[in-house]
Chains A and B, each alone.
Chain A
Amino acid sequence: MKLNVLLFGVTKEIIGESPQQIEIQGETVKDLRDHLLNNYSKLSGLNSLMIAVNNEYAENDLQLKESDEIALIPPVSGG
């Protein structure tokens, strides 16, 4: 399935401009995570990589839809 993924912070430097259209095999958050880690090895060096779906932190087993708003959340550092 084809997903539009918003990128922020260091993930833009690793992957490219935001949003990115990313095609994955499978349909869960874990499938997207696996695809990203396989294709962008620098992501595995980050302290953490969360995935947000429709403005909520998502668990690995969440089913994705092409219409979802998906974002990569590298380690946050506000405040």
Chain B
Amino acid sequence: MIRITEDTLDINAITNEVIDPACGGIDVFVGTVRNQTKGKEVTHLFFETYESMAISEMNKIASLIKEKWPVQKISIHHRVGRVEIGEVVVVIAVSSPHRKEAFEACQFAIDTLKNTVPIWKKEFLKDGEVWVSAYP
């Protein structure tokens, strides 16, 4: 399942989506909100998205993965809106017959998502706010 939501992400429920009798390996990546960045204290994050294109790009990642690896199922869920320290921002779950492909596909999914999916993160710091990666 591919989903963008303002709701809390349920890691167990998302992992269960990819369980498959043909698969012995499930790899799950969980991205959470860190309380500091470059030595500065972060109070919370805000994520904005261009949802229609983001869903399209996430579907492309899932299609690419199924072309490259014998992956049976893949789920990508991403939070948007305000997210607090320690909360889950993204969950990617991948199932395949063997673990090696599941690890590789899951890493490819998060790396590609960070490069191509139109989602933007604003960090709220003790002394200001900044759109992440916008400027050199």
Task: Determine if chain A interacts with chain B.
Answer: yes
Q: A residues near B, CB below 8 A?
A: 6, 8-10, 13, 45-47, 52, 55-57, 71, 73-79
| Chain B residues touching A, range | 20 to 34
Interchain CB contact under 8 A, B53 and A78: no
B53 proximity list for chain A (CB < 8 A): 52, 55-56, 71
A73 proximity list for chain B (CB < 8 A): 50, 118
Q: Which residue of A lies closest to B111 (CB)?
A: A79
**Bound form: Cα–Cα A37–B110 in Å:** 31
B47 proximity list for chain A (CB < 8 A): 78
Q: Which residue of A lies closest to B136 (CB)?
A: A47
A-B contact count (CB 8 A): 81
B78 proximity list for chain A (CB < 8 A): 78-79
**Bound form: Cα–Cα A75–B48 in Å:** 12
Residues 32-67 (chain B) with a chain A CB within 8 angstroms? 47-50, 52-54, 56
**Bound form: Cα–Cα A66–B78 in Å:** 32
Please tell me if B133 contacts chain A, counting CB pairs below 8 Å.
yes
**Bound form: Cα–Cα A71–B48 in Å:** 14
